[in-house]
Structure 1
Amino acid sequence: MKLKNILVVVGLIAASFASCTDIEEQVYDKYPANEFYGSPEGADVALAGVYARVGGNWDGVGYAGADNGWYDLNSMSADEQVIPHRNTGDWQLDFARLYLHSWLPTDLIVNNTWNWLYSAVFSANLAVEQLQNANAEDSKIAEAKVLRAFFYYLLMDDYGNVPFYTENNITVDELPQISRAELYDFVITELEDNVETLATTKGGTYYGRFNKWAGYALLAKVYLNAEVYKGTAQWQKSLDAITKLEEGGFSLHSGATSDTNPLGYEYYELFGDVMPEDETILAMYVTENIVSRNIYTVRSLSGPHAQEVFGFSGWNGTIVPTAYYNAYADNDIRKAQFKVGEQPGNISYSLEVSSLDNPGAAPYAGVRNMKFYPVAPLDGAGASNDFPIFRYADFMLMKAECYVRLNNAAAAKPLVDAVRVRAGLAALAVAPTLEDIYNERAFELNWEGHRRQDMIRFGTFLDANDYRGVSEAYRTLFPIPTSALDANQNLEQNPGY
């Protein structure tokens, strides 16, 4: 069993950050609640209940790893991936509707993401209450509050004006709706008040947890998108938060060739099992069939291809749109993740995809992606690749973006060049433009859940593509689900829906 952060055990809570091999029985229900949650072990149990909400699983639960949830909503509405309906009748239309910007307030993935995030807020509220009532360590209370801020940040990013509560003693029909700007202020205040108090431990029992450096990473992300959320840019504040993050001592992982990595480069260790500590800031812990799962390669590959390579059938689902794939240079090591043409299993993936929805794509149309090359334990339901929520290359490019927006492109150049050179490309001939940084983020961070947010910030999200015309402006927000409106008459739908 892998030693990582929080082992979530389904059933009676028995979680420990210290070791997943210590099986000495602890009879926690004999302790008064305040005494229990005030202890280091009890505080970690309270936090475990919140971290359990992060990992992806069936029915749209979690940040990433499974399907029909937050990851699909934010990735397939961008330009980096889509599951086309097949002309053989395979695959629901929800994924194509996301790519075509024709999603509805009743759509499954829109609903699942909303329900997951509010269940996560509920868990975070509970943990904050338990820890505060027990006078737990300040760092543990801060961790629960930063986790809650993380979930509200995701809600603010996707849905805009949303219901807000910090105590669980309120019914759904009474939840007040606050503006996106008000929620932005809350998230910023929670982070500014608590990030410095977080633990500074890296790895070990803090693998996959919000330590101080992950807290500053989240703060930098919120400030980076401040103009979208509140109308006022905060490039310098994002830059300042990244500078604090860098005190954690992060660097780019090696991009050297590898005789052991299936994709041929050490770079792809960033998307395997235990993620490298040099570049990983915050990871989502996965052990398939125990805690979460990672379906992304098995969902992309066809049945015969996956059967030949891994010994189980693939789902023949997700593709990389042609224009996105063609934008990569042939000598870019990041192009090794893509599969097109003849493949094991006697199948061939075609580059072009004529239709996403009606009549749909041919069975083997579309480029496939193996960025998350499956690691054991694995089966036809997924693999055990952990998922990078925050890694340093992202923040190097964010820092470069802030510099350019603050009219200091010269300071941005070494940051962009370092990411490019790691990928086997030449350094830029001149200082980067915003377009250079936007493109580099597309090459570096594809399939990691950042693309929709990037496209909105850079003003490209509504642009026409090969399958649809220009989208209407209201599509930069998702609708509040119809089920949520039915449950709470206080809520107002986002304009356009």
Structure 2
Amino acid sequence: MKKIEYIILLIFISFTACIDVEEEVYDKYAAKDFYASPEGSDAALASVYAQIPGNWDGVGYAGADNGWYDLNTMSTDEQVIPHRNTGDWQTEFARLYMRDWQPTNYLLNNTWNWLYQSVFRANTAIEQLEEAGAEAGKIAEARILRAFFYYLLIDDFGDVPFFTRNEQPVDSIPQTSRSDVFDFVVSELENNIDDLSTQKGGNYYGRLNRWAGLSILAKIYLNAEVYVGTPMYDECLTVVNEIINEGGFSLHSGEADPSHPLGSRYYELFGDVCPDDETIWAIYTTADVVGRNIFTIRSLMGNDGTLLVGYGAWNGTVVPPDFVAKYEDNDVRKRQFRYGTDPYGPQPDGFIEYTLEIDNLINPGSEPEAGVRNQKFWPVEPMSSGGASNDFPIYRYADILLMKAECLVRLGQSAEAKSFVDEVRERAGLNPLAGDPTLTDIYEERGRELNWEAHRRQDMIRFGTFTEGHGLVPAVDEKYLLFPIPTAALNANPRLEQNPGW
């Protein structure tokens, strides 16, 4: 069971559970008093934070299926759900991997709806908190959450509908340029980060503190050349230096741990509670209460899941062999991959021997045992066949170190970048780089370190590899650097224009 109290969620649940919606309890004055109180301001924020844990129907940043996480990971080289030649699994996931998506793809529509529902709730919370004169830190959390959702929108879709108050009908909301929304997001972050708490863990586990806000800002600066055509690596470097120098973070231990199914403390980063020595912002998860984490259960085959973790699994997601090949055998991070006659992890009698190669994804599809499985998020209780309670790291310190190394190399300071890449490599059990890092070195290290943590599409676009062919995937043109605006959104708002090429 979880040991950490998720204060915001509990306040939200208790607050909403005790109100009879038929009664006129609050007039405007009383509502202002309520949202100015610690309990009321937490309740306003809770409805926004509740959008982040992954749940069914494409809701959430990560943890469940058919939403933002799947859209932004299965369109990369790191994972795919093949259609099986037994008839299992629809083809949308494989088509994402093969760069064969259309504006009618339901994962696109789910992602769009989730992000705009999140913006709507953030707008409501900001209005409630500002009208009540709530404390500045609570208002800053709400405004930065909204900026985070708009950042994800421009990352996926480019020019998007933009509104900061909820009065406008959907069909009258203007489509705003990517660069203008980028400026808004940067301004919101720069103007509100100083009001965020510096506290780590405790009541701020799963909430935005200063270090999480700075991490969002650093990501936006890192990708500024993609978004607005202007490199901002100096600005990114300034922000990551503050996190490194003042945040008090360090890499979590990668030492051996015979008590863990994968034999290393490294995998504590993806377990029940993400350790706060390295984790900057995490998604709190308790299956069937607050979100869920399906990733390993979705990957393992049915009976194998029962043997390994006690619950039937889905025989879904696999890791392409060309991605597995990026890892050296002595890399502790390779233990996340399960395949062959002597797999990493437990080997109970009757375990399934998954094959490394997978040669067909759609028609007729793959064999049931084909494809490497991922056990990075080794399932923790409470769990069922519907998912486990592993928390999910949105940002962690290893990412920040590699971001700093990338900025230094792009700014012509490769020698200074070496120690930051080596620190990540050595934790994984690898030797330091033989020479100063290149951008390719950093790109490959980011892939190995952050696999299945929803950074890969952004990295591939920034490093110029996203449109290249790999494995079974053909090369594509640059229209694929943006997802198309969903057909349903275009039908709902005639002011929107589709992205070029779609």
Q: TM-score range by the shorter chain?
A: over 0.9
Return the alpha-carbon distance in structure 2 between the equivalents of residues 14 and 362 of structure 1: 50
Identify the residue that residue 444 of structure 1 maps to in structure 2. Answer: 449
Q: Deviations over 1:79-122 (max 9, x none)?
A: 00000001111101110011001111001101000000000000
How far did residue 273 of structure 1 move?
0.8
Q: Is the 8 A contact 1:328 1:335 kept in 2?
A: yes
In structure 2, the residue corresponding to 1:98 is in which secondary structure?
helix
Identify the residue that residue 8 of structure 1 maps to in structure 2. Answer: 9
Check if 1:391 corresponds to 2:396: yes
* Larger mean Cα displacement after TM superposition, 339-348 or 424-433: 339-348
* Larger mean Cα displacement after TM superposition, 197-206 or 64-73: 197-206
How well do the aligned residues superpose, as a CA RMSD in angstroms?
Answer: 1.7
Q: Which runs of 5 or more structure 2 residues have no equivalent in the other structure?
A: 342-346
Check if 1:284 corresponds to 2:283: yes
Normalised to the residue count of structure 2, the TM-score between the two structures is 0.95
Identify the residue that residue 212 of structure 2 maps to in structure 1. Answer: 214
* Larger mean Cα displacement after TM superposition, 214-223 or 243-252: 243-252
Q: Is the 8 A contact 1:372 1:385 kept in 2?
A: yes
Q: Is the 8 A contact 1:13 1:45 kept in 2?
A: no
Identify the residue that residue 476 of structure 2 maps to in structure 1. Answer: 471
The one of 74, 96, 110 aligned to 1:76: 74
Return the alpha-carbon distance in structure 2 between the equivalents of residues 473 and 145 of structure 1: 33
Counterpart of 1:302 in structure 2: which amino acid? Answer: M
Counterpart of 2:489 in structure 1: which amino acid? Answer: A
The structure-2 alpha-carbon separation of the partners of 1:75 and 1:372, relative to structure 1 and needing over 3 Å to count, comes to same
How far did residue 4 of structure 1 move?
3.8
Q: How does 1:349-360 map to 2 (within 5 A)?
A: 349-360=354-365
Return the alpha-carbon distance in structure 2 between the equivalents of residues 226 and 377 of structure 1: 40
Identify the residue that residue 311 of structure 2 maps to in structure 1. Answer: 312
Q: Deviations over 1:9-68 (max 9, x none)?
A: 69965289xxxxxx9xxx995681100000111111100010000010000000000000
In structure 1, the residue corresponding to 2:467 is in which secondary structure?
coil
Q: Which runs of 5 or more structure 1 residues have no equivalent in the other structure?
A: 17-22
Identify the residue that residue 148 of structure 2 maps to in structure 1. Answer: 150
How far did residue 468 of structure 1 move?
2.8
Check if 1:91 corresponds to 2:89: yes
Q: Is the 8 A contact 2:159 2:177 kept in 1?
A: yes
Return the alpha-carbon distance in structure 2 between the equivalents of residues 171 and 126 of structure 1: 15
In structure 1, the residue corresponding to 2:9 is in which secondary structure?
coil
Counterpart of 2:280 in structure 1: which amino acid? Answer: I
The structure-2 alpha-carbon separation of the partners of 1:28 and 1:140, relative to structure 1 and needing over 3 Å to count, comes to farther
Q: Is the 8 A contact 1:7 1:15 kept in 2?
A: no
Q: Deviations over 1:454-487 (max 9, x none)?
A: 0000000000122232111100100100000000
Counterpart of 1:52 in structure 2: which amino acid? Answer: A
The one of 117, 120, 143 aligned to 1:119: 117
Identify the residue that residue 269 of structure 1 maps to in structure 2. Answer: 268
The structure-2 alpha-carbon separation of the partners of 1:152 and 1:6, relative to structure 1 and needing over 3 Å to count, comes to farther
Counterpart of 1:238 in structure 2: which amino acid? Answer: C
Q: Is the 8 A contact 1:480 1:493 kept in 2?
A: yes
In structure 1, the residue corresponding to 2:206 is in which secondary structure?
coil
Counterpart of 1:460 in structure 2: which amino acid? Answer: T
Counterpart of 1:155 in structure 2: which amino acid? Answer: L
Identify the residue that residue 242 of structure 2 maps to in structure 1. Answer: 244
How far did residue 399 of structure 1 move?
0.4
Identify the residue that residue 225 of structure 1 maps to in structure 2. Answer: 223
Return the alpha-carbon distance in structure 1 between the equivalents of residues 490 and 453 of structure 2: 31
Identify the residue that residue 20 of structure 1 maps to in structure 2. Answer: none
Normalised to the residue count of structure 1, the TM-score between the two structures is 0.96
Identify the residue that residue 235 of structure 1 maps to in structure 2. Answer: 233
Identify the residue that residue 332 of structure 2 maps to in structure 1. Answer: 333
Identify the residue that residue 50 of structure 2 maps to in structure 1. Answer: 52
Return the alpha-carbon distance in structure 1 between the equivalents of residues 353 and 378 of structure 2: 19
Check if 1:347 corresponds to 2:335: no
Counterpart of 2:92 in structure 1: which amino acid? Answer: D
The one of 116, 138, 141 aligned to 1:140: 138
In structure 2, the residue corresponding to 1:349 is in which secondary structure?
coil
The structure-2 alpha-carbon separation of the partners of 1:28 and 1:218, relative to structure 1 and needing over 3 Å to count, comes to farther
How far did residue 2 of structure 1 move?
3.3
Return the alpha-carbon distance in structure 1 between the equivalents of residues 26 and 157 of structure 2: 43
How far did residue 449 of structure 1 move?
0.2
Return the alpha-carbon distance in structure 1 between the equivalents of residues 175 and 252 of structure 2: 43
Q: Is the 8 A contact 1:6 1:48 kept in 2?
A: no
Counterpart of 1:77 in structure 2: which amino acid? Answer: S
Return the alpha-carbon distance in structure 2 between the equivalents of residues 314 and 10 of structure 1: 34
Q: How does 1:249-260 map to 2 (within 5 A)?
A: 249-260=248-259
Count of paired positions: 488
How far did residue 429 of structure 1 move?
1.1
Identify the residue that residue 19 of structure 1 maps to in structure 2. Answer: none
Counterpart of 2:230 in structure 1: which amino acid? Answer: T
Counterpart of 1:417 in structure 2: which amino acid? Answer: D
How far did residue 5 of structure 1 move?
3.2
Q: Is the 8 A contact 2:8 2:43 kept in 1?
A: no
Return the alpha-carbon distance in structure 2 between the equivalents of residues 14 and 372 of structure 1: 33
Return the alpha-carbon distance in structure 1 between the equivalents of residues 484 and 478 of structure 2: 13
Return the alpha-carbon distance in structure 2 between the equivalents of residues 379 and 386 of structure 1: 15
The one of 353, 377, 383 aligned to 2:382: 377
Counterpart of 1:55 in structure 2: which amino acid? Answer: P
Return the alpha-carbon distance in structure 2 between the equivalents of residues 347 and 458 of structure 1: 37
Counterpart of 1:215 in structure 2: which amino acid? Answer: G
Q: Is the 8 A contact 1:53 1:62 kept in 2?
A: yes
In structure 2, the residue corresponding to 1:389 is in which secondary structure?
strand
Return the alpha-carbon distance in structure 2 between the equivalents of residues 463 and 412 of structure 1: 27
Identify the residue that residue 344 of structure 2 maps to in structure 1. Answer: none
